[in-house]
Structure 1
Amino acid sequence: MIQTIIYSIGFILPKIINYAFLKFFTRSLKIEEFSLYTDMYALSFLAIGFLSFGLENTYFRFLSKKNHNKEVLFSTGVIVQLFIISFFLILSVNSIKYLVSIAGYKNHPEYFIMFFLIIFFDTICVLPMAWIRANEMALKYTTINMINILIQSIFVIYMFSLQEIKKETNLIQKFYFSIFELIDSFTDKTGYIFFANMIASLSNFILILPIILRKVTIKKFNKFLAKEMLNYGIPIMLGTIAFSINENLDKILMKRWYSDEINGAYSACYKIASFMSLYIRAFRLGIEPFFFKKSEDADATYYYGEIIYIFIVLGLIFYVLICGNISILIDFLIDKRYHIAIPIIPIVMMGYLFLGIYTNLSIFYKIIDKPIIGTYISLIGVFITILFNVVFILIPNSSFMIPAWGTLFSYVSMVLFLYFWGKKKFLKSYKRTWSILIHLFLAFLLVVYIVNNEKRTDIRIILQLLYFILVFLFEMNNFFSKTEK
């Protein structure tokens, strides 16, 4: 429990700081500049999905097997990852003119240079950070994450504040602007954010470098194990790419087929909906190592089922709290220019919850070493995402609600396919299905009603209180029924 709390702090606190910057960015940047900012991250996530090769999940899975030497496993994984990412960096730098041209960034090749380095350092850090988690160094994990976000925040504040000071006065000595002017000479305001991220990624790499130098040696590299890890990881990598497409295709297309104004508003509200990912990731950080440790136990399926149920109930409470009060929270989170896309938030946020359900259910194919099942299911999700986005592009003057609904239906379909597959293999006697459906229906119905009657503050508060009471009574009844048996 203490480990989970520390891991959660290490993940959630940096994310909260990022969300605090969301209001700052939506106020400081023009809406088209914010669109550029989100577009670059959308493109980079597609690259990271490919370059990860599923090695983090592979590492945890192989670690749970007793026949693998831990040091050989870690060395092999890091060397494989280093080879892949080094090849990417060399290829990307030599292809930069072509890449910036097809992406529509001829005026900003420096964006791509910075992101090549961000992707390089972030990807290299994946396995060492997984090693820290596997060795239950929760405090170290949290400290590294906090240093990372503090460095990034300091650079962002430094550059944006000096730009404003420079506008107002020329009396400040040039010494104070030396670093700023160096950065300002090759990029613009949007690029400041990318530069800060690049410095933070480099700092993260420096912090985990001692682990690599101490634990990774070429003598411990095992080519047969490397092949085995890649065979296991490639299907996971394909699933990760599919997830990246589900997450980012709408924003990439919206910028290029519609306008930066629509994409900026949509992306800002999408980020608010991604609040749910904080809960999902924090839950996963604390529970994923436990999942794999329990994989050999006779009662493993029972534990997995109970944990998934708890995840859904707590996730829906979080969903109601955020979406049920979005009219109050929205002004604190983004500038009013972006409010036109608020209706997507409850839809996308529910989609994120289904993604979390899918992530937890995916343990059933991971523990039997069948990640290819996840690849097939992810491709179904991608097909639905592409279908909705094609409709959005082809219909003149269509609403940005279409890709938002595509996000929800994509993740719902993935959960359903995985559930029915698991029903045959692992969930034959699972008795929580109807309880889950009742919880989902009740929460979604409540949020829809509140959103459509957002001006009635009194009704909103009363309905949320009634919802929490009903959930408490329902779960207490379930608990006592179970103990009596």
Structure 2
Amino acid sequence: MSILKKLAGETLSYGFSTILGRSLNFLLVFIHTAAFMPAALGVNVKLYGYVAIANIIYTYGMETAYFRYAKEAPERYYNLILTAIILTSGLFTLGLFVFADPLMAQLGYEGKGQFMRWLALILAIDAVTAIPFARLRLERKIQLFVKAKIVSILLNVGLNLFFLALLKPMQEGHWGPIFLQNLYFPSIGAGYIFLANLLSNASLFYWLRSSFTDFKWTWDSAEMKKLWVYSFPIMFMSLAAMFNLMFDRLLLEEFLPEGFYPGRSSEDALGIYGNCYKLSVFMSLAIQAFKYAAEPFFLGSKSAENSPSNLALVSHWFVIVCLILWVGVSSNLFWIQGLFLRQSIYWEGIGVVPVLLLANLFLGVYYTQSVWFKKTNKTYMGTVITVTGLAVTLIGNVIFIPIYGYMACAYSFLTSAIVMTLLCYVGGQKYDPAPYRWMAAIVYIGLGVIAIQSGSILASLQIPLFISQNIGFICILVYILLKEFSWKNGKPSLTLK
């Protein structure tokens, strides 16, 4: 019980910043879809897909390496790893600055090289601040971590509102002070999203200033070789995982036949799918918050608390929490879509959301199980698993996008996540066995499918839509209460067996 309380407490603390931050950040979907049509947002969907991949290259697995080795000599490994990250980030960013214009022309955005330069600076800041943030997590300085993240996101949302909800309407409607109208340049358009991101990221240096003032340039070739041997498989694993997450958006526009969706271009389809995809953020919140708390815990020094049985217990409750999110969000898409996707054109792709939520659930289970190859220094196994998952995604998208459109993207991702979870489970049981409650997980997921499908069946009944769509969700909650809790004197207590 203590392990659940400890991890739950830290997950909720990180989750507060993650959920509040992402919720505020999610307002950006509202702002962006109100300001631009899908085709105009296609450049952002595509470039942020590449940014997510580049982020991994910029940090090349050093965050996990820091958690793995910092317990031996915290300051030494902090200085050594941060030195390496600063040097490589500078080189990568310089390269992107030099080749920004031809790269954007190659991507089909001639004359938009400034967007690439802004993104290069965003990538550099993300990489350089990653290790100070990792140290805050390791030292359990959650309050500072939360404050820095939330203020940065608040600033990002505020700048988006300023550029797109104030200056853009002023310039287009020719109202308000002239000097404000002149601050908005239509040629930049959706590029203001990148500019707001850059300015808000720069604010992180203020909150992390103490982490940089006590930083000392350090280099040790022998130690760096050891770190690279450990971290490079993690980088390739993370790259494969990110390609798995992003490749559907990169392939959709390429393989979708012209006119597949009547009256919609390929750019429209990409914008619709990319913004509907963002509704799966609800599952990503739980996964990210859990990773923030669990990674330093389970990769720390060996103790009774981070035993395989406790990992299995934590994983069981992770599945339950994710199940509640999956069914709860899927059952309420009928009003969520109108709240966050402000133009009805985006609602056409809403069917991908339950599939993507379930895919993220499996991906979260994979992350909880992946502790074994990080603890046993078999990080290459993670690379093998994620590359296999990537192959499944690629094959599924290439074959089925021309037949099923963006639904093929969603189901390919789901299939990939299931394959990765199964492979990770098999490998874990061989090298670092844990008594996972896999049968209970299968039952819960099956009940979730039934609960979501019941909404379609009951929609024809003459009862309020909110009730018909949530009957299955309520049944799931009741089942969890009866199954996972024992009731004594009218008070619930967890059943831990």
TM score, norm. by length of structure 2: 0.89
Distance verdict in 2 for CA 1:455–1:126, change over 3 Å = farther
- Tell me which residue corresponds to 2:415: 409
- Tell me which residue corresponds to 1:230: 228
Taking the TM superposition and a 5 Å limit, the aligned residue runs for 1:68-83 are: 68-83=72-87
Structure 1 residue 168 displacement after superposition: 2.9
Structure 1 residue 463 displacement after superposition: 2.4
Distance 1:300 1:141 in 2: 27
Structure 1 residue 296 displacement after superposition: 4.5
Q: Is the 8 A contact 2:237 2:382 kept in 1?
A: yes
Residue from 474, 485, 488 that aligns with 1:476: 485
Distance 1:112 1:229 in 2: 30
Q: Is the 8 A contact 1:295 1:367 kept in 2?
A: no
Distance 1:206 1:162 in 2: 27
Q: Tell me the amino acid that sits aligned with residue 345 of structure 2.
A: R
Deviations 1:216-236 (A, max 9, x none): 212x43322221111111011
Residue from 394, 399, 402 that aligns with 2:405: 399
- Tell me which residue corresponds to 1:148: 152
Deviations 1:355-406 (A, max 9, x none): 100011000111111111100000000000000111135x3x5422111100
Structure 1 residue 171 displacement after superposition: 6.0
Structure 1: give runs of 5+ residues left out of the alignment: none
1:94 paired with 2:98, answer yes
Taking the TM superposition and a 5 Å limit, the aligned residue runs for 1:218-297 are: 218=217, 220-258=218-256, 259-293=266-300, 295-297=302-304
Distance 2:306 2:407 in 1: 43
Question: What is the SS of the residue equivalent to 1:163?
Answer: helix
- Tell me which residue corresponds to 1:126: 130
Bigger mean CA deviation after superposition, 152-161 or 262-271: 152-161
1:443 paired with 2:439, answer no
Structure 1 residue 325 displacement after superposition: 1.3
RMSD over aligned CA atoms reads 2.3
1:164 paired with 2:169, answer yes
Bigger mean CA deviation after superposition, 292-301 or 84-93: 292-301
Q: Is the 8 A contact 2:163 2:192 kept in 1?
A: yes
Structure 1 residue 210 displacement after superposition: 3.4
- Tell me which residue corresponds to 2:379: 371
Deviations 1:213-262 (A, max 9, x none): 31x212x4332222111111101100111111111111112234441111
Q: Is the 8 A contact 2:452 2:473 kept in 1?
A: no
Distance 2:108 2:268 in 1: 17
Question: What is the SS of the residue equivalent to 1:189?
Answer: coil
1:418 paired with 2:424, answer yes
Structure 1 residue 480 displacement after superposition: 8.8
Taking the TM superposition and a 5 Å limit, the aligned residue runs for 1:383-394 are: 383-393=391-401
Question: What is the SS of the residue equivalent to 2:433?
Answer: coil
Q: Is the 8 A contact 2:62 2:227 kept in 1?
A: yes
Q: Tell me the amino acid that sits aligned with residue 75 of structure 2.
A: E
Taking the TM superposition and a 5 Å limit, the aligned residue runs for 1:41-80 are: 41-64=48-71, 68-80=72-84
Distance verdict in 2 for CA 1:171–1:415, change over 3 Å = closer
Q: Tell me the amino acid that sits aligned with residue 375 of structure 1.
A: T
Q: Tell me the amino acid that sits aligned with residue 166 of structure 1.
A: Q
Q: Is the 8 A contact 2:104 2:116 kept in 1?
A: yes
Distance verdict in 2 for CA 1:453–1:223, change over 3 Å = farther
Distance verdict in 2 for CA 1:299–1:95, change over 3 Å = closer
Distance verdict in 2 for CA 1:164–1:362, change over 3 Å = same
Structure 1 residue 407 displacement after superposition: 0.4
Distance 2:205 2:67 in 1: 21
Give 1 or 2: higher helix fraction.
1
Question: What is the SS of the residue equivalent to 1:295?
Answer: coil
Distance 1:271 1:321 in 2: 16
Structure 1 residue 423 displacement after superposition: 2.0
Distance verdict in 2 for CA 1:333–1:455, change over 3 Å = farther
Structure 1 residue 431 displacement after superposition: 5.8
Q: Is the 8 A contact 2:277 2:352 kept in 1?
A: yes
Structure 1 residue 43 displacement after superposition: 1.3
Q: Is the 8 A contact 1:294 1:300 kept in 2?
A: no
Distance verdict in 2 for CA 1:151–1:482, change over 3 Å = closer
Q: Is the 8 A contact 1:124 1:205 kept in 2?
A: no
Question: What is the SS of the residue equivalent to 1:274?
Answer: helix
Deviations 1:9-68 (A, max 9, x none): 22221110111221221111111112222111011111112222111111111124xxx2
- Tell me which residue corresponds to 1:194: 194
Bigger mean CA deviation after superposition, 134-143 or 473-482: 473-482
Structure 1 residue 288 displacement after superposition: 2.2
Distance verdict in 2 for CA 1:145–1:413, change over 3 Å = same
Question: What is the SS of the residue equivalent to 1:293?
Answer: coil
1:313 paired with 2:311, answer no
Bigger mean CA deviation after superposition, 188-197 or 157-166: 157-166
Distance 1:110 1:481 in 2: 55
Distance verdict in 2 for CA 1:126–1:94, change over 3 Å = same
Bigger mean CA deviation after superposition, 100-109 or 236-245: 100-109
Structure 1 residue 208 displacement after superposition: 2.0
Question: What is the SS of the residue equivalent to 2:302?
Answer: helix
Distance 2:56 2:209 in 1: 23
Distance verdict in 2 for CA 1:451–1:102, change over 3 Å = farther
* More relative contact order, 1 or 2 (CA 8 Å, 6+ apart): 1
Distance 2:493 2:17 in 1: 35
Residue from 416, 433, 440 that aligns with 2:438: 433
Residue from 345, 348, 359 that aligns with 2:353: 345
Distance 2:141 2:227 in 1: 24
- Tell me which residue corresponds to 2:473: 464
Distance 1:266 1:431 in 2: 34
Aligned residues: 471
Bigger mean CA deviation after superposition, 284-293 or 224-233: 284-293
Structure 1 residue 295 displacement after superposition: 3.3
Question: What is the SS of the residue equivalent to 2:252?
Answer: helix
Q: Is the 8 A contact 1:392 1:400 kept in 2?
A: no
Distance verdict in 2 for CA 1:171–1:288, change over 3 Å = closer
Q: Tell me the amino acid that sits aligned with residue 351 of structure 2.
A: P
Structure 1 residue 205 displacement after superposition: 3.1
Deviations 1:109-153 (A, max 9, x none): 111111111111111110011111111111111111122112212
Distance verdict in 2 for CA 1:342–1:453, change over 3 Å = farther
Structure 1 residue 340 displacement after superposition: 0.9
Structure 1 residue 445 displacement after superposition: 2.3
